[in-house]
């Protein structure tokens, strides 16, 4: 366990009930952080809390946390701070990734994806920033995507939102460069999570392939020929949250087996 973990610092993770958010929450807790688990539904968050507790860690559930609603965010940040003190590590992991051809991407889908992925990151970060600054040696890590570094067909709204997250990350990192707060993004490639199931369903619906064939086609986008695991993304976040990454800020780090080179 690192010195960072031994300090028992408070981390807040959005989208913590499943997929990458869950893996990040578990990794931070295993490394000694007290973790506020934020999301809209209580049941998956309670399941993650139980996993953390069973391993001897500390976690607090904040359900009804809607990253598109400022009042919900302010309430959740207040509850988290009352439980765990200042938020030393903020991880923006909540996200949505529907797919559709551009001419079938209506304004409702576009607004929903931008609202959750990009505006949600902005709203949560703005609400938590004062706490992160006060915590000392603060860390903000945004879960973006390789779709924030390159383009993919049929996910124009998702690509636009994740490019925005990377831009926000870089701008805020420069604003905070003279403080002790770092701001970075991790950019996973196709990752073996429930969110990937939507892409698999789209492929099977359009091509008639089986789910296994669809997953294999996604894995082929990775030069290593496999899907990324949520735990690999979590390990990258854990490093960025540590004192060892103090000089790393404004970066968009691909976790994608070489699919995208550089950030």
* Each residue's pLDDT tens digit, 189-214: 887 766 666 665 666 666 666 766 66
pLDDT at 15: 97
Cβ contact 89:10 at 8 Å: yes
Closest to 99 in 3D by CA, of 148, 143, 158 = 158
pLDDT tens digits, one per residue of 139-173: 999 999 999 999 989 899 999 999 999 999 999 99
Predicted pLDDT at 3: 37
**Phi-psi label, residue 146: left if phi above 0, alpha if psi -120 to 50, beta otherwise:** alpha
Q: Is 260 a residue whose pLDDT tops 60?
A: yes
In the predicted model, is pLDDT for residue 6 greater than 50? Answer: no
Mean pLDDT, residues 31-41 taken together = 98
Q: Is the pLDDT of residue 103 over 60?
A: yes
Which H or E run includes 128? Answer: helix 120-135
pLDDT reported for residue 18: 93
238 vs 3, higher pLDDT:
238
**Residue 215: pLDDT band with limits 50, 70, 90:** low
Question: Which pLDDT score, from 0 to 100, does residue 197 have?
Answer: 64
Per-residue confidence band for 224, with pLDDT thresholds at 50, 70 and 90: confident
User: Domains along the chain?
Assistant: 3-191+228-255 (3.40.50.720), 192-227 (no CATH)
**24: which 2 tokens?**
């990040």
Smallest CA-to-CA distance from 99 within 162, 159, 154 is with 154
pLDDT at 5: 40
Residues near 155 by beta carbon (within 8 Å), at least 6 away in sequence: 97, 98, 99, 147
The predicted pLDDT at position 200 comes to: 58
How far apart (Å, rounded) are the C-alpha atoms in residues 29 and 162?
A: 27
Phi and psi of 38, rounded to 5°?
A: -110, 140
Q: Answer yes or no: are the C-beta atoms of 161 and 118 closer than 8 Å.
A: yes
The set of residues, in sequence order, having a beta carbon less than 8 Å from that of 190 and lying 6+ positions away, is: 196, 199, 218, 219, 221, 222, 227, 228, 256
Q: Is the pLDDT of residue 217 over 80?
A: no
What pLDDT does 2 receive? 37
Which residues are identified as catalytic? 158
pLDDT tens-place string over residues 45-67: 999 999 999 999 999 999 999 99
pLDDT at 202: 65
pTM of the predicted protein model: 0.90
Position 7 pLDDT exceeds 60:
no
């Amino acid at each position: 366990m690192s010195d960072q973990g031994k300090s028992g610092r408070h981390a807040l993770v959005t989208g913590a009930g499943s997929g990458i958010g869950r893996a990040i929450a578990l990794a931070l807790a295993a490394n000694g952080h007290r973790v506020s688990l934020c999301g809209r539904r209580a049941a998956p968050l309670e399941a993650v809390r139980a996993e953390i507790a069973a391993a001897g860690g500390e976690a607090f559930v904040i359900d009804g946390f809607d990253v598109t609603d400022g009042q919900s965010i302010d309430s959740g940040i207040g509850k988290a701070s009352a439980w765990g003190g200042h938020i030393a590590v903020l991880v923006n992991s909540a996200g949505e990734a529907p797919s559709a051809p551009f001419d079938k991407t209506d304004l409702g889908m576009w607004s929903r994806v931008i609202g959750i992925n990009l505006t949600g990151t902005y709203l949560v970060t703005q609400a938590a920033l004062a706490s992160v600054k006060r915590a000392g040696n603060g860390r903000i890590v945004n879960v973006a995507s390789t779709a924030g570094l390159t383009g993919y067909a049929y996910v124009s709204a998702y690509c636009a939102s994740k490019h925005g997250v990377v831009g926000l990350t870089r701008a805020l990192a420069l604003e905070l460069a003279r403080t002790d707060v770092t701001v970075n993004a991790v950019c996973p490639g196709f990752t073996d999570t429930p969110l990937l199931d939507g892409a698999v369903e789209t492929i099977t619906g359009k091509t008639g392939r089986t789910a296994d064939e669809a997953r294999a086609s996604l894995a082929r986008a990775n030069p290593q020929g496999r899907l990324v695991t949520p735990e690999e993304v979590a390990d990258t976040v854990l490093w960025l949250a540590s004192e060892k990454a103090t000089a790393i800020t404004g970066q968009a780090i691909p976790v994608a087996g070489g699919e995208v080179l550089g950030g």
